[in-house]
Structure 1
Amino acid sequence: MKKTVVLPFLALSLFASDEYIPVSELSHSKKQEYNFISKTNINEEIETKTYTAVSQESDDVIEPLEKDEIKETKVNISENIKEKKEVIPNTKVENKTFVKEYKKENILKDEVKYSDNSFSKDFSVTPKLTYAYLITDITATERINAEDKESVLIPEITVSYKNHNLKAEGFETKSYFDKVLITGSDLETTVNWYKFYYMYSINKINFGIAYNKFNLDWKNVDFNSTSKDKEEFISLELNMKNSNDILQVEYGVSYGKNNNISYSYEYYLNLGYKLLKNDSLILSAGYRNRTIENDFIEDDKEYKAEFEGPTISLTGTF
Structure 2
Amino acid sequence: MKKIVIISSLTLTLFASDGYVPLSNLSDKQKEEYNFIDKNNVINLEENNSYEKVEKVQAFEEKKELKKEPTKTDEEFIEDYKKQNILKDEKKESSTFFSQDFSITPKLSYSYLTVDGYYPHKVRPEDRKNIIIPELLIRYKNHILKYEQIKVKTYFEKVIIGDNDFDMKTSWQKLAYLYQYNENVNFGLAYNIYKSDSNVYYNTLTIPYEEREKFASLEVNFKNQENNLLAEYGISYGKNHEIDYSYEYYLTLGYKLLDNDKLIFNAGYKNKTISIEDLKFKYEGPVIGISSTF
Fold shared, TM-score > 0.5 on shorter chain = yes
**Deviations 1:214-256 (CA, angstroms, capped at 9, x unpaired):** 0111111352221101111100000011112211000000000
1:149/1:175 contact within 8 Å kept: yes
The unaligned stretches of length 5 or more in structure 2 are 1-77
2:93 match: 113
Q: Map 1:76-87; keep pairs closer than 5 Å.
A: none
4+ long deviations beyond 6 Å: 101-108
Bigger radius of gyration among the two = 2
One-letter amino acid of the structure 2 residue matched with residue 178 of structure 1:
E
2:53 match: none
2:198 match: 218
> Is the counterpart of residue 168 in structure 1 residue 144 in structure 2?
no
1:144/1:177 contact within 8 Å kept: no
Describe the shift of the 1:201–1:221 C-alpha distance in structure 2 as closer, same or farther (beyond 3 A): same
1:305 match: 281
2:292 match: 316
* TM-score, scaled relative to structure 2: 0.67
Q: What SS is found at the alignment partner of 2:124?
A: strand
1:144 match: 124
Instruction: Give the Å deviation of 1:110.
Output: 4.5
1:156 match: 135
Q: What SS is found at the alignment partner of 2:164?
A: coil
One-letter amino acid of the structure 2 residue matched with residue 207 of structure 1:
F
1:208 match: 188
> When the two structures are aligned, how many residues end up with a matched partner?
212
The unaligned stretches of length 5 or more in structure 1 are 1-97, 296-301
Q: CA RMSD in A?
A: 2.3
Q: What SS is found at the alignment partner of 2:94?
A: helix
2:158 match: 179
Instruction: Give the Å deviation of 1:184.
Output: 2.9
Q: Map 1:6-45; keep pairs closer than 5 Å.
A: none
2:113/2:283 contact within 8 Å kept: yes
In 2, the alpha carbon distance for the partners of 1:294 and 1:255 equals 14
1:241/1:250 contact within 8 Å kept: yes
1:138/1:144 contact within 8 Å kept: yes
More strand by share: 2
1:235 match: 217
In 1, the alpha carbon distance for the partners of 2:123 and 2:160 equals 12
One-letter amino acid of the structure 1 residue matched with residue 229 of structure 2:
L
2:125/2:159 contact within 8 Å kept: no
Structure 1 range deviating more: 104-113 or 304-313: 104-113
Describe the shift of the 1:221–1:143 C-alpha distance in structure 2 as closer, same or farther (beyond 3 A): closer
2:112 match: 133
In 1, the alpha carbon distance for the partners of 2:276 and 2:293 equals 37
In 1, the alpha carbon distance for the partners of 2:144 and 2:197 equals 32
In 1, the alpha carbon distance for the partners of 2:207 and 2:111 equals 29
Q: What SS is found at the alignment partner of 2:221?
A: strand
* TM-score, scaled relative to structure 1: 0.62
1:195 match: 174
More helix by share: 1
In 2, the alpha carbon distance for the partners of 1:304 and 1:130 equals 24
